[in-house]
A = this chain, B = another copy of it.
Amino acid sequence: MCGAALCNVWITENGRETMATKSKKVAAKKNDGVVKVALLGFGTVGSSVAKVLAQSKFAGIELTHVYNRSVARKKESAAAKFVPATAKWTENIDDVLKSNVDVVIELMGGLNPTEGWLKKAITSGKHVVTANKQLIAYKGVSLQRLAAQNNVQLVYNAAVAGGVPVIPGMKQGLGGDRMQRISGIVNGTCNYILSRMETGADYATVLKDAQQLGYAEANPSADVDGFDARAKLCILSRIALHADLNPDEVATQTISSVEAVDFMYAKELNCTIRQISRAQLEGTVVHARVAPMLVPMDSPLAWSHGTQNMVVTSGLYGGDVVFSGHGAGGEPTAVAVVSDLLAVAQGAKSVELPVRKRQVTGEFMAPHYLRFVVDDKPGIVSSIAGALAKVGANIDSLLQKPGYPKHKLPFVVTTEPCLTSTIEKAMHAIGKLDCMLEKPMTLQMLVADDTAE
């Protein structure tokens, strides 16, 4: 919001108000008040950014460069019409890095060569807006330091949860709280798969659908095995818990071993299953994990369907805050990118929160859901119960739905809260029993008030 004295508001041809960027606060000084912008990457998000900029006509912002491989092909795409005729299309990154653009928007992803290019952009005085979660997860702290040294901004609100403003919301609005933990659904692909499976579909079918819809890659590992979510969890932890984590050290568990039967048993327990990314600070250690987990049906996390994202932050003073919306897709992510661009163009500065290196462990004290598929014989329950008793884990319930053949019988045990490592030890022993037809499945059960070790 601003009054007349704060910024000029003027009307474009279509009668819409435009963002004021010609005020004295504007970041761009080298281009007569016009903020020149280069787009690295003209894929789904990049072309949506071009579309939003073209349709919204923010005064004082000009897209001047588009870098991509195979420019000839990109220029033929339908979205190319959103790129101004005056903009330079290039396959040579030096055309951008050696130009006088004010802001580089990076939407290529990956660590290499992106990191080197963005360092060059920063050291040559260019602001950087990026949606690159892997780069920010692994290199965000050092890049931020480099940006500060060069007196430019590095902004990455699009790197987590796309169009859901959880990063700016936490930075500007929750910095005064003492954040204790954060849980979220930050991978739309996994959420699409699991919320479809909730209604009875099986994993392979849904994955295929997701691939056809463009929600999942041909090789879906980054999504389903949790590596995408892990990067986002590290970024969220840095802001919420002021903790700099090594993404490689964050425990992950694939969703690909979740089966239709697990949803049936979850329902019996008044739960569903979601890929949850969670972290909490205990003393100087961060407990973090990305895994399919049982989520109570009355938790906000259970309400998230399809490709929706949701993040729940839990603060000592403010309690739980929920952010949710479209976490992926070209236009929602473009909203985050363009919002960052407008902030940079205005010279707006976000709150800086402290951050320090923290150790990370996958250990949680939580109830667990254990699913076995056995060739049913007398003594199996006794063996399982014995293995659990040996590590001190108490059984809370035993569920066995009728209608399955004795020789391939799925059944479920839930435990009272116990440590992840404790349950893993028992499951290792149980997995060796002769009657086990499949590797037993262990899922953490999320409860509102559980604690880390």
Measured CB to CB, the residues of A under 8 A from B are: 1-7, 9, 16-20, 25, 48, 52, 56, 140-142, 144-145, 148-149, 157, 163-178, 238-239, 242, 300, 303, 315, 317-326, 331-332, 334-343, 346-356
Q: How many whole Å from A281's CB to the nearest CB in chain B? A: 10
A199 → B minimal CB distance (Å): 14
A319 touching B332 by the CB < 8 A rule? Answer: yes
By the criterion CB–CB under 8 Å, are B334 and A325 in contact? no
- The answer to whether A19 and B317 touch across the interface, beta carbons within 8 angstroms, is no
Interface centre among A9, A331, A334, A352 (most CB of B within 10 A): A352
State the CA gap A396–B321 with chains docked (Å).
38
User: Contacts of A20 on B, CB cut-off 8 Å?
Assistant: 352, 354
Out of B1, B170, B176, B341, name the residue touching A355 (CB < 8 Å): B1
- SS of A interface (majority): mixed
Docked-complex contact B331 and A317, CB < 8 angstroms: yes
Minimum CB distance partner of A315 in chain B:
B335
Q: A5-B148, A176-B342 are in contact. List 12 more A-B contacts (CB 8 A).
A: A1-B141, A3-B148, A20-B352, A20-B354, A165-B172, A168-B169, A175-B343, A177-B335, A317-B335, A318-B325, A346-B349, A346-B351
Known: A176-B342, A315-B335. A352 touches B17 (CB 8 A): no
Whether B319 lies near A322 (C-beta < 8 A) is no
Contact between chains at B353 and A2 (CB < 8 Å): yes
Q: Is the CB of B353 within 8 A of A172?
A: no
Cβ contacts A to B, 13 pairs, < 8 Å: A3-B144, A9-B354, A17-B354, A48-B317, A163-B318, A165-B170, A168-B168, A172-B343, A175-B339, A176-B334, A176-B335, A319-B331, A323-B323
The answer to whether residues A326 and B335 also contact, given A172-B168, A176-B52, A303-B300 and a CB cut-off of 8 A, is no
B residues less than 8 Å from A149 (CB atoms): 5
* A317 & B343 in contact (Cβ 8 Å cutoff): no
Contact residues in B for A354 (Cβ distance below 8 Å)? 2, 7, 9, 17-20
The 6 lowest CB-CB distance pairs between A and B, nearest first, are A165-B173, A176-B338, A3-B145, A168-B172, A163-B318, A321-B325
Chain B residues whose CB sits within 8 angstroms of the CB of A169 once the complex forms:
165-166, 168-169, 172-173, 323
Q: Are A9 and B174 in contact (CB under 8 A)?
A: no
Please measure, in the bound complex, the distance between the C-alpha atom of A148 and the C-alpha atom of B23, giving whole angstroms. Answer: 12
Query: How distant is A389 from chain B, measured CB to nearest CB, in Å?
Result: 39
Say yes or no: A325 contacts B319, CB within 8 Å.
yes
Contacts A2-B353, A354-B2; A323 near B326 (Cβ below 8 A):
no
Is A348 a contact partner of B350 (Cβ separation < 8 A)? yes
How far is it, in angstroms, between the C-alpha of A332 and the C-alpha of B320 when the chains are bound?
10
For residue A176, which residues in chain B have a CB less than 8 angstroms away from its CB? 52, 56, 334-342
* A318 B343 Cβ-Cβ under 8 A: no
- A117 CB to closest chain B CB (Å) equals 20
Report Cα–Cα, A157/B2, bound state, in Å. 15
Please indicate the chain B residues that have their CB under 8 angstroms from the CB of A242 in the complex.
1, 17
Pairwise interchain contact B144-A1, C-beta atoms closer than 8 A: yes
- A174 adjacent to B339 (CB under 8 Å): yes
Q: Which residues of B contact A323 (CB under 8 A)?
A: 169, 321-323
List of B residues within 8 angstroms of A303 by Cβ: 300, 303
Return the chain B residue nearest A56 by Cβ.
Answer: B178
Contact B177–A339 (Cβ < 8 Å): yes
Q: How far is the CA of A383 from the CA of B16 in the complex (A)?
A: 47
Cα distance, A264 to B164, chains bound together (Å): 35
Residue in B52, B142, B157, B337 whose beta carbon sits within 8 Å of that of A172 in the complex = B157
Query: Nearest chain B CB to A41's CB is how many angstroms away?
Result: 17
Please report the C-alpha to C-alpha distance between residue A19 and residue B353 in the assembled complex, in whole angstroms: 6
Closest to A239 in B: B1
A260 to chain B, nearest CB (A): 24
Q: How far is the CB of A11 from chain B (nearest CB, A)?
A: 9
Contact of A348 among B145, B172, B177 (CB under 8 A): B172
- A115 → chain B closest CB, angstroms: 15
What is the bound-complex CA distance between A168 and B64, given in angstroms?
30
